[in-house]
Amino acid sequence: MAGKQYDISPQVLKDIEEKAKKRAALKREYFKLITDPFRHGTAEGGYAFDPGLQRFMSMKATAYDHFKPTPKSGAYAFALVVAPIVLYTWWMKTSRDAIEKKLRAGEVAYKDRKFKFI
């Protein structure tokens, strides 16, 4: 490292250095694979195959196939989809009914109404 680190323990500093060494080794291996001129004729093509990335992409592509509905997922669906629609509809209905009641009772002058013909 460039300088001394006084605010962290020696164990944490050692862990950071080990992680940096591992990252550098992976970077070297990746560049070695990606720049190999004899690799382009293989079945994989001209890219470096990353098994972790492939697992992630496969999991994302087949997530629906492995979905199992549970009460928790149903509660999430209700809370994030159904409940907001129902609550917004209820709020709009009650607020508009209250305004309509005031307008029909004559409590709001015509000049003060938001929606008028002139």
pLDDT per residue of the chain (118 residues) written in tens, 0 to 9: 556 767 888 899 899 999 999 999 989 988 887 777 776 555 555 567 778 889 999 999 999 998 999 999 999 999 999 999 999 999 999 999 999 999 899 999 888 888 777 6
The amino acid sitting at 67 is F
Q: Domain for residue 55, yes or no?
A: yes
> Looking at the structure, do residues 12 and 60 belong to the same domain, yes or no?
yes
Assess contact for 46 and 40: CB atoms under 8 A.
yes
> Looking at the structure, do residues 58 and 74 belong to the same domain, yes or no?
no
pTM (2 d.p.): 0.48
Q: Domain for residue 116, yes or no?
A: no
> Looking at the structure, do residues 52 and 91 belong to the same domain, yes or no?
no
Assess contact for 39 and 46: CB atoms under 8 A.
yes
Q: Domain for residue 115, yes or no?
A: no
The residue segments making up the domain with residue 56 are: 7-38+47-67
Contacts of residue 54, Cβ cutoff 8 Å, sequence gap at least 6: none
